[in-house]
Amino acid sequence: MKKIALIIIMCFLFIDKVNASDELNIKAKSAIVIEEDTLTVLYEKDADLALSPASMTKMMSMLLTMEAIKSGKISLDDEVIISKKASSMGGSQIYLEEGSKAKVGDLLLSVALGSANDAAIALAEKVGGSVDNFVLMMNKKAKSIGANNTTFKNPHGLDEEGHLTTARDMALIASELLKYEDILKYTSLYETTIKHANGKSIWLVNTNNLIRFYEGIDGLKTGYTDNALYCLTATMKRNNMRIISVVMKEETKEDRTSDTINLMEYAFSNYYKETLIKKDKQLGEVFISNASNRKVPYYLEKDVSIILDKSERNIKYNYDIEIDNKKAPITKGERIGVLKLSSADKVYEYKIITLNDVKKANFFKRVYNNFIDITSGNLNAFFG
């Protein structure tokens, strides 16, 4: 593995996490604030307490739906035949009728705005084949992103024994959902109308009233049950920084609203985001001995950014670039190394990739490359 080390002096300080501040007086039983890209924790209060998420569960249902759309497994225009199970759901709903048809896009909108349980079941059956299989997918996805304290029992979030998560895990799930920026086209709407196949119109109003009454908030999902009480995962972008806040088990809707606003203002008032290396900057070239074009440029998969406290002083940090020993073929976007950014005892890793496919050299190309290596005296490449 090849390594390149660089040391940089900056007038910044890494923020690992900030414990709950008494002055905020957050009333939620559990809460957390993170920056969406770096996942830096800016505030937390009992963020690992296992609680019922209510309809915030639907963020995972929306995430799996968005993944299925991106992969081509389904499309927004696909029609879903409504099952008896979906049509019989109680709670928030859009009154789907058994045997009727609804488009994936309308179902997704109904989940995002109206928190419709019947639409959540219909999407689960479309994406997973069955609700049981979809729930398995939900739990598998949760573990894959590090939401290890989450167990889903259903796609909608109605109270069920063992259906539990944490504020920290909800924030992680929200950050994954936000990788699909199109979801904000749904969650940022305050109201809209959809039509059932029978021509009946359904008026949808966003259950997150901050979308209308607090400028900048554009998602993500509310929740309420008798057990979970009032919950909200919210998100907001200001300048180049997007914040995710989660509050769980609030006694009143008003507390949920005021806590969310206070957490957002706390985050934007105290922290900002600095981009150190842009992903479109070529970091270097790696020599792939069996490739058709052997000098392969490499880049970051995403920007290297840090979240900084506006009140802190100078700090020294460094980063290492480690390139894997790879052979062609290499697929576009495949990892070929890692950039490790470190400060004190904290290390942050960023994947290094190629922007194009790296093809394996055919026989004639290999003979040509070997001839060039021998005649130029580049025997290391020849024997590599």
Can you give the three-state secondary structure of 215-268, one letter per residue?
A: CCEEEEEEEEECCCEEEEEEEEEECCEEEEEEEEEECCHHHHHHHHHHHHHHHH
In the residue annotation, 141 being an active-site residue is answered as no
Instruction: Specify which of 110-119, 301-310, 363-372 reaches the highest per-range mean pLDDT.
Output: 110-119
Q: What is the pLDDT of residue 278?
A: 93
Decide if 130 is catalytic. no
Task: Write down the catalytic residue from 27, 29, 45, 58.
Answer: 58
* pLDDT recorded at residue 20: 44
What percentage of the chain reaches a pLDDT higher than 90? 76
Q: How many Cα atoms sit within 13 Å of 3 on the Cβ side?
A: 7
d(CA 42, CA 306): 12
pLDDT digits (tens, 9 = 90+) for 6-25: 444 333 334 444 444 557 89
Task: Return the pLDDT at 15.
Answer: 46
Between CA 41 and CA 231 the distance in angstroms is 19
pLDDT the model gives residue 311: 82
**Out of 110, 115, 245, 305, which one is annotated catalytic?**
115
- Mean local confidence (pLDDT), 136-158: 98
Least confident range from 13-17, 156-160, 306-310: namely 13-17
The pLDDT value recorded for residue 375 is 75
pLDDT attached to residue 18: 45
Active-site pick, 55, 83, 305, 343: 55
- Is residue 381's pLDDT more than 80? no
* Cα–Cα separations (whole angstroms), residue 98 to 85, 117, 374: 8, 14, 73
- Could you tell me which residue, 110 or 24, shows the higher pLDDT? 110
Q: Do domains 2-11+277-383 and 28-250 have the same CATH topology?
A: no
Q: Say if residue 225's pLDDT is above 60.
A: yes
Angstrom distance (rounded) from CA 288 to CA 303: 25
pTM value > 0.85: yes
Whole-number pLDDT of residue 8? 42
Tell me, which fold does domain 28-250 have in CATH?
A: Beta-lactamase (3.40.710)
The percentage of the chain sitting over the pLDDT mark of 70, rounded to a whole number, equals 90
- Tell me, what amino acid is at 321? I
pLDDT of residue 317: 74
Return the axis-axis angle of helices 58-71 and 131-144, rounded to nearest 10°: 90
* 100-103 long-range Cβ contacts below 8 angstroms, 24+ apart: 100/196, 100/197, 100/198, 101/197, 102/196, 102/197, 103/76, 103/77, 103/78, 103/79
Hey, CA dihedral for 275, 181, 65, 279, is it positive or negative? Answer: negative
Strand, helix or coil at 59? helix
Task: Write down the mean pLDDT value for the chain.
Answer: 90
Is the separation of the CB atoms in 96 and 102 below 8 Å? yes
Known catalytic membership, residue 332 = no
Domain boundaries, the chain: 2-11+277-383, 28-250
In CATH, what is the architecture of 2-11+277-383? Answer: Sandwich (2.60)
Residue 280 burial (C-beta neighbours within 10 Å; 0-12, 13-18, 19+): exposed
Measured between alpha carbons, how far is 129 from 311 in angstroms, rounded to an integer? 52
Three-state SS for 319? strand
The rounded distance, in Å, linking the Cα atoms of 180 and 183 is: 6
